[in-house]
Structure 1
């Protein structure tokens, strides 16, 4: 509505032009591939496992380096959250590092023992 209270929609509709043939964009037909199929034909799309490698995936025991990086990430995450909630102290940092270190060592030991040899 304008300031004088009149409705301007009627004027807009009167000025609107319908689309002409020149305004329509037509998509080109996709060309066929060497085997005669068009791109996208015969493909199932994004199906789970469709991008899986052709080699067999085998389980492996975790390496100490991987366990250390996971433990470091957990420590930093817990300390960042603790800093926003209660603030950091030396006792809190030591407790978090000790608890995460002990948990990571136990998990690493269990995973090394239970992972089959490959």
Structure 2
């Protein structure tokens, strides 16, 4: 069976390697993406923070919130470390950090959530 390709007769064929590279190059793709999603407002630079800066900001913020608000988890982690020469100092540091956060009442939200969770988990429903 012979296929009929007469409908494609007038279309240009882009078979040269230079045409393919130019069409698929990252610079061309970036420029077309900028044109497609350009902002009507003048924004200095590219208008968006770099992905690395955004990701590192999120990670540091999450780590600080967890370190300040849930020092009990850090202490639990330190207690479960395998035996090594650094385990003792890590446990001492985590205990000191836990005591400081309790003294400053930074651990109160985590303790409240944990207490309520334990209360709900222990509740028995009548049948």
Q: Is the shorter-chain TM-score for this pair beyond 0.5, marking a shared fold?
A: no
Higher helix share: 2
* CA radius of gyration, larger in: 1
Of structures 1 and 2, the one scoring higher in RCO (CA 8 A, sep 6+) is 1
Q: TM-score, normalised by structure 2?
A: 0.35
